[in-house]
Amino acid sequence: MRRWLALLLSLINFGCFAQADYAREQRWADEITPAILVGDAVALTLPDGRKFLGIYAPNAKARAGVVLVHGLGMHPDWSVVHPLRSQLAEQDYATLSVQMPVMAAGVPGEQYAPLFPEAAARIAAAVQYLRNNGHAKIVIVSHSYGARMTNVLLNQPDAPAITAWVSIGITGEYSKPATFKAPVLDLYGENDFPGVLELAAKRAATIKTVRGSAQIRVAGADHFFQGMNNELVRNVKLFLDRVTR
């Protein structure tokens, strides 16, 4: 009851009851599904019965299952997510990239807070999907605002157990880091957004308390690792190899 009351108050503070744009989400699905080359589209289900898109690329020799979470207002085959989900699936991992709830185009990130509970529920459903498909070790790899959404999930007392979390280009500090129960890789670019760079030192100090965690700044990379996909995947895979051995 307290949890839902807190959510209601947050919605009131925004001045209106913000809504997920499910029609926009469906348009994303209609656009990207026919073009999927690695993996297959799957329908994941929330506890309330709502379905959402995932792209699952199995690997018979997978060391672990990897949930991939995209950034603000986009889709599960977008930007940094595409090379990660496709290349990791060819390098000893099964990947499941999932659609996060979106709002109308142009809505800024600070207005997404009312969607965080559904975002967290989607990531939890993705973890369960991988578990149901035989993966004992599960890692979450999330980019930008998707990392903020993942942080919200990991703060919950009933958050699913995971093997590790790779947080790519998260803005600001981590919320409630004392709730983290798995190693964290804080990965960002040398030329990342100011909001990512300004508090990098604080994030590094925070995750030192979580055994097995690390921070990596990738020289020359921007927020989206443009032209540096191979370096992005390499750093993520090195961390995953270490935490899943």
Structure tokens at 91: 């390098």
What pLDDT score was predicted for residue 15? Answer: 36
Indicate the burial class of 178 (C-beta count within 10 angstroms; 0-12, 13-18, 19 or more). Answer: exposed
Q: From the CB of residue 58, how many other CB atoms can be counted at a distance below 10 Å?
A: 17
3-state secondary structure of 168: strand
Q: Are strands 164-168 and 40-45 parallel, antiparallel or unpaired?
A: unpaired
Select from 158, 35, 32 the least CA-distant residue to 99: 32
Q: From the CB of residue 180, how many other CB atoms can be counted at a distance below 10 Å?
A: 20
Fold for the domain defined by 2-244: Rossmann fold (3.40.50)
What pLDDT score was predicted for residue 14? Answer: 40
Structure tokens at 177: 């880091």
Indicate the burial class of 216 (C-beta count within 10 angstroms; 0-12, 13-18, 19 or more). Answer: middle
Mean pLDDT by 10 residues, the chain (245 residues): 40 52 94 95 96 97 97 93 97 97 90 94 98 97 97 97 98 96 98 98 96 98 98 98 96
